[in-house]
Structure formats: C-alpha cells, structure tokens
Amino acid sequence: MTAARALRQIVATTDVHSALDNAAPFLAAAAVTGGAVTVPYWPADSNQPGVVVPRILQQFGADLTYGSDGSLTVSGTDAIDCIEIDLRDASELTP
C-alpha cells in the first residue's frame, strides 16, 4: 500500500471538529495526494481564519466543489502549483 493510499484511508474515516482550521490538514492531504475529502456543512462565510483554506488550496491547483447540502469537497489534481500568498489576515494558518 502506498503512503498516499494509506493517508486517504485515514482521512476518509476521521471526524473533524467544527473549527474550520482543524480541517486544513485533511483538505491539504487530499490536494497533495490526488484524493478527495468532503467536509459537511462548510460555511459560505465565517469569521474563522480557516474559511480561507479551500481558496488557498485552489490557488495551489486543487479543485473545489460546493454541494447543495452545504458540503465542501477538495480534490487533488496530481499537480501542485507554486504560489505567493499573504497570510497576514489568517496568521493562525501560518506554521
């Protein structure tokens, strides 16, 4: 089993707390492995810094799909683009 496949299996069975930035590692894992992660009830707008994670991953090349039920799916595309980004408004996301 490849590391990417093992990671997809872990991600597929993990519950994520409602704090949006807690979903970031799982969404990023989908983006970098070419997998997909769906988070139910992703808010269209929020004052949490984590709400920008999907847009950041989209800049890296991930595909975003918003479901009619409020879900968000991030899918990897087998290619990660280099980006330059200012995270001053979401400093909690900066390592």
Catalytic residue of the set 37, 76, 92, 93: 92
Exposed e or buried b per residue across 42-61, where buried means at least 16 C-beta atoms within 10 angstroms of its C-beta: beeeeebbbbbbbebbeebb
CA atoms within 13 A on the CB side of 79: 5
**Residue 84 bears catalytic tag:** no
Q: Give the residue numbers annotated as catalytic, written as ranges.
A: 92
